[in-house]
């Protein structure tokens, strides 16, 4: 036995003791490890339309509150300002955070910035809208295809219930030509309405007026019996046009999202149904996934936060109330 061996054994024993005490005397919460992590969230829009992104942000903040991870929010004022978002994304990369959460304003245009972040060693997690890249560690979003199918099937159900027949003309009002959400939803709607007479898809470029005017025009020129609006503004524009033309209840409208006015329209019987996402869950889970990634845990490549079909009948059910009517923020 070498002399002085006990010195090493003492050190080893002390280390062992420390480890035992650490494991027995209280777990190290992961929040400890996350407190000095910084995540920058680049949203599609921080001002308009407020509701959806506000709720996303609330969900993110709730997740951050739980874990103590530092969150910073940035994003252009309007969803259409893709170039500004790209600029803001590069800015976020320069700040060298531990991770960037991105809701991509454009499927193709954000590809290069994401690759740049990857080169800089900053992981990117996408939420709500994807980019054309395998780089993001995870994509947390509503399965828009599934949501579209829900809307399409509901429309089919309405058409059947009203006896409009298979050749009833269905119009799709989409909000954007290039956005992944719009493409997926349309695909889903068409899938849900397979065998029905979809006469065409029109685009409003996320402008309420365009949706409204286009609908008024088309209702006069085209044989339209039912309309699907693929997001908040397109659904609202369509519903308002239908209502203003006195066709409320006659031409069924199925939409997406849950602006307060859509809810009123739903109550009033113009909007027959709306498929809503769970923006709160989306925000919450995207941050949770980001945290998992930062802790080195396994992260699923795609997380579906789900969607709900809301009709007049279930809109005031307790479990949906907060999805449809988010809490106001309290002043701290």
Partner 1 sequence: MIRKLLSIFSTLESRTYYIFAILILLTILSTQLISYYFTQRSLVEVTNTQKGYTMERLAYQIDAYMHTMEAIAGAVSSDDQVQSFFSAPGESLPVPRDDISDFLSSFLRAREDITTIALFGFNGKTITSSPSEKISPYVDVEDQQWYQEAKENPDSTYISSAHVQNLFFGEYPWVVSMSMVFHDQHSGEPLGVLLVDMNFNRIRELCQPIIQEPPEYIFILDESGDYVFHPQQQLVFSGITSEPIDRLMELNDLDDPLEIEGNSYITRTTDSAGWRIVCVTELYADIDQWRFVQVSYASIGLVAFIVVGMVASLLSRSITRPVKELCTVMQSVDKGNFDITADIDSTDEIQQLADEFNIMVRKIRDLIDQIHHEQESKRKSELKALQAQINPHFLYNTLDSIIWMSEMERNEEVVLMTSALARLFRISISKGKEIITVGDELQHVESYLTIQKMRYREHFSYSIEVDESLKHYPSLKNILQPLVENSIYHGLKTAEYKGIIRITGELQGDMLLLHVTDNGVGMDPEKFNHILSEDFTGTNVAHSGVGLRNVHERLRLYFGQDYGLTCSCTPEEGTIVSVKLPAKRSFQEEE
Contacts of 236 (CB under 8 A, 6+ apart): 208, 211, 229, 255, 259, 261, 262, 265
62 vs 207, beta carbon nearer partner 1: 62
Q: Is residue 95 part of the contact set for partner 1 (CB under 8 A)?
A: no
Give the number of C-alpha atoms closer than 13 A to the C-alpha of residue 308, restricted to the C-beta side: 17
Contact with partner 1 (CB under 8 A) among 6, 36, 72, 300 = 6
110 vs 271, beta carbon nearer partner 1: 271
Q: How far is the CB of 291 from partner 1 (least distance, A)?
A: 13
Element (H, E) at 24: helix 5-24
Site residues (CB under 8 A) for partner 1, limited to 248-267: 260-261, 263-264, 267
Site residues (CB under 8 A) for partner 1, limited to 9-28: 9-11, 13-18, 20-22, 24-28
Binding residues for partner 1, rule CB under 8 A, total 56
List phi, psi (to 5°) of 282: -65, -45
Q: Is residue 332 part of the contact set for partner 1 (CB under 8 A)?
A: yes
Q: How far is the CB of 14 from partner 1 (least distance, A)?
A: 3
Contacts of 84 (CB under 8 A, 6+ apart): 76
93 vs 323, beta carbon nearer partner 1: 323
Candidate segments 63-71, 81-89, 123-131, 169-177, binder of partner 1 by CB under 8 A: 63-71
Strand partners, 302: 139
Cα 165 to the chain's mean position, in Å?
34
Contact with partner 1 (CB under 8 A) among 195, 246, 296, 318 = 318
d(CA 116, CA 133) in angstroms, rounded, equals: 12
Contacts of 200 (CB under 8 A, 6+ apart): 171, 172, 222
> Are the beta carbons of 276 and 258 closer than 8 angstroms?
yes
Q: Is residue 29 part of the contact set for partner 1 (CB under 8 A)?
A: yes
Candidate segments 94-102, 139-147, 154-162, 317-325, binder of partner 1 by CB under 8 A: 317-325
94: exposed, middle or buried (C-beta count within 10 Å: 0-12, 13-18, 19+)?
exposed
156 vs 235, beta carbon nearer partner 1: 235
List phi, psi (to 5°) of 313: -70, -35
d(CA 287, CA 67) in angstroms, rounded, equals: 10
Q: Is residue 66 part of the contact set for partner 1 (CB under 8 A)?
A: yes
5 vs 246, beta carbon nearer partner 1: 5
Q: How far is the CB of 61 from partner 1 (least distance, A)?
A: 11
Strand order in the sheet with 70-74: 70-74, 38-42, 99-102, 124-127, 139-141, 302-304
Interface with partner 1 by CB under 8 A: which residues?
1, 3, 5-7, 9-11, 13-18, 20-22, 24-29, 31-32, 59, 62, 65-66, 68, 260-261, 263-264, 267-269, 278, 280-281, 284-285, 306, 316, 318-325, 327-328, 330, 332
């Amino acid at each position: 036995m070498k002399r002085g061996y006990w010195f090493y054994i003492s050190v080893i024993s002390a280390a062992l003791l420390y480890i035992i005490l650490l494991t027995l005397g209280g777990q190290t919460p992961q929040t400890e490890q996350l407190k000095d992590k910084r995540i920058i969230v680049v949203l599609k829009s921080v001002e308009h339309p407020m509701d959806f992104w506000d709720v996303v942000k609330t969900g993110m903040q709730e997740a951050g509150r739980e874990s103590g991870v530092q969150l910073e929010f940035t994003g252009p004022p309007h969803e259409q300002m893709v170039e500004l978002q790209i600029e803001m994304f590069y800015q976020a990369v320069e700040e060298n955070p531990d991770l960037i959460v991105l809701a991509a304003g454009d499927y193709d245009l954000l590809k290069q910035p994401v690759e740049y972040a990857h080169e800089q060693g900053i992981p990117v997690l996408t939420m709500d809208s994807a980019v054309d890249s395998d780089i993001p560690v995870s994509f947390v979003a509503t399965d828009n295809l599934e949501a579209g199918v829900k809307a399409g099937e509901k429309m089919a159900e309405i058409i059947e219930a009203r006896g409009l027949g298979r050749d009833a003309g269905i119009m799709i009002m989409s909000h954007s030509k290039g956005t992944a959400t719009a493409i997926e939803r349309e695909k889903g709607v068409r899938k849900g309405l397979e065998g029905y007479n979809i006469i065409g898809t029109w685009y409003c470029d996320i402008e309420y007026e365009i949706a409204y005017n286009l609908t008024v025009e088309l209702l006069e020129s085209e044989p339209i019996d039912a309309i699907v609006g693929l997001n908040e503004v397109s659904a609202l524009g369509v519903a308002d046009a239908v209502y203003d033309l006195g066709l409320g209840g006659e031409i069924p409208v199925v939409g997406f999202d849950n602006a307060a006015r859509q809810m009123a329209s739903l109550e009033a019987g113009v909007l027959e149904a709306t498929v809503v996402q769970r923006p709160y869950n989306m925000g919450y889970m995207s941050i949770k996934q980001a945290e998992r990634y930062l802790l080195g845990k396994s992260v699923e490549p795609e997380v579906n936060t789900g969607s709900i079909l809301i009709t007049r009948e279930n809109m005031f059910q307790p479990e949906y109330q907060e999805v449809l009517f988010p809490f106001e923020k309290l002043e701290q």
